[in-house]
Amino acid sequence: MTKNNRVPSFLVHCLLIASFFAIASCTAPRPKKPYTIPPINVASAAPESYAWPNATASNAITDLNQEINFSQSAASRIQLPLRKIETKYFILFTNVPEDQSIDFLSDLDQMYTNVIELLNMPPQLNIWKGKAAVYLFNTREQFIRFEKNMYNNTITFQAAICHQHYSGEVRIATYNMKDKEYLHQLMVHEAAHGIIHRYRSPHRIPTWLNEGLAEWAAMSTQQDQSYYTFKKRLSAKFIANKEHFPKTFFGPSDFIPEYYGTALAITDMLIAQGKTDFIRFIDHIKSGKSWQNALNTTYGMTPSALVAAYGNTIDLTSLTIKAE
């Protein structure tokens, strides 16, 4: 099936719901006090200013050894041998047979660099705690088994998950699906979640913005935009049929697949106003401000004004937010 014919499955993504679950199940304590970050000049900041400080002193070798221990524990619990492949920024554990190439492997570091550059960070920056881990299983069933055994996570429609721990680790799990281009997009999407998690502070950005930004990163690194245009249109149609903007879009949960295209469209709309402002918006949230406050400080807008502006882009004038 070609990409143009493919109905966006929305099965995709990391799912912040799942990511929150990962955080909730993480043994690292959630930071109690808001992180205060010094104001930085984005253009001149030292690379280390971009990543949040790790809770404990650590070094790359210790961090990598901890991940290797985790992978060994996973291999034992799900009874699958996993081999390790390292790239500059990623450590991959996989049971894909050695005679099968892993299509995105050679692109992984370039994908990372692309997302880092999209967010105006220095190209050589390593934002990870050690490296980001990728668990690539040969089958969907093995991915499901990994999630169940290691995170007590029940997979329903997810194709990949980015576990973002408050102790600093970023761990992406997925499987070797037939549609390699889709897997590639998925990896960019998940890596973007990981990068945003590690950016500046552990403060969470809201689900809609996190998904919008991950989709925007995936869209920006693709030559062919038609898939994303289609996705935006489907979501716009979903909103048009409702005749209002559902309040749950901005909530911490209930972020349904139909919202992804709208999240992308709104994020794209904000970024189109200037990347510097958009990064400032993210920085305010990462410094502990609510996204509504950050939106007001950066763009002088309320959520209602944001929704109305989005409505105007899809020919829905006077679009308002309503509870279902």
Half-sphere exposure of 24 (CA within 13 A, CB side): 8
Choosing from 8, 14, 23, 183, the residue that interacts with Zn ion (CB under 5 A) is: 14
| Interacting positions 206-235 with Zn ion (CB under 5 A) | 211, 214
- Map residue 262 onto helix, strand or coil: helix
Q: Closest distance between Zn ion and the C-beta of residue 266, in Å? A: 15
Q: Closest distance between Zn ion and the C-beta of residue 24, in Å? A: 17
Phi/psi at 133 (5° precision):
-95, 140
Choosing from 13, 129, 200, 289, the residue that interacts with Zn ion (CB under 5 A) is: 13
Strand partners, 132: 90
Based on the shown chain and the rule CB under 5 A, indicate whether residue 197 belongs to the binding site for Zn ion.
no
Of 11-19, 93-101, 244-252, 273-281, which segment contacts Zn ion by CB under 5 A?
A: 11-19
Residue 55: exposure state from Cβ atoms within 10 A (0-12, 13-18, ≥19) = middle
Q: Closest distance between Zn ion and the C-beta of residue 135, in Å? A: 16
Would you say 92 or 209 has its CB closer to Zn ion?
A: 209
Binding-residue total with Zn ion (CB under 5 A): 4
Half-sphere exposure of 154 (CA within 13 A, CB side): 1
Based on the shown chain and the rule CB under 5 A, indicate whether residue 134 belongs to the binding site for Zn ion.
no
Of 5-13, 34-42, 138-146, 302-310, which segment contacts Zn ion by CB under 5 A?
A: 5-13
Q: Closest distance between Zn ion and the C-beta of residue 19, in Å? A: 8
Q: Closest distance between Zn ion and the C-beta of residue 300, in Å? A: 28
- Map residue 26 onto helix, strand or coil: coil
| Cβ-closest position to Zn ion | 13
Closest listed residue to residue 187, CA positions, set 87, 81, 78, 257: 87
Closest listed residue to residue 173, CA positions, set 158, 183, 164, 162: 162
Residue 309 sits at the vertex; the CA angle it makes with 304 and 311, to the nearest 5 degrees, is: 95
In the complex, the residues that contact Zn ion under the rule CB under 5 A are 13-14, 211, 214
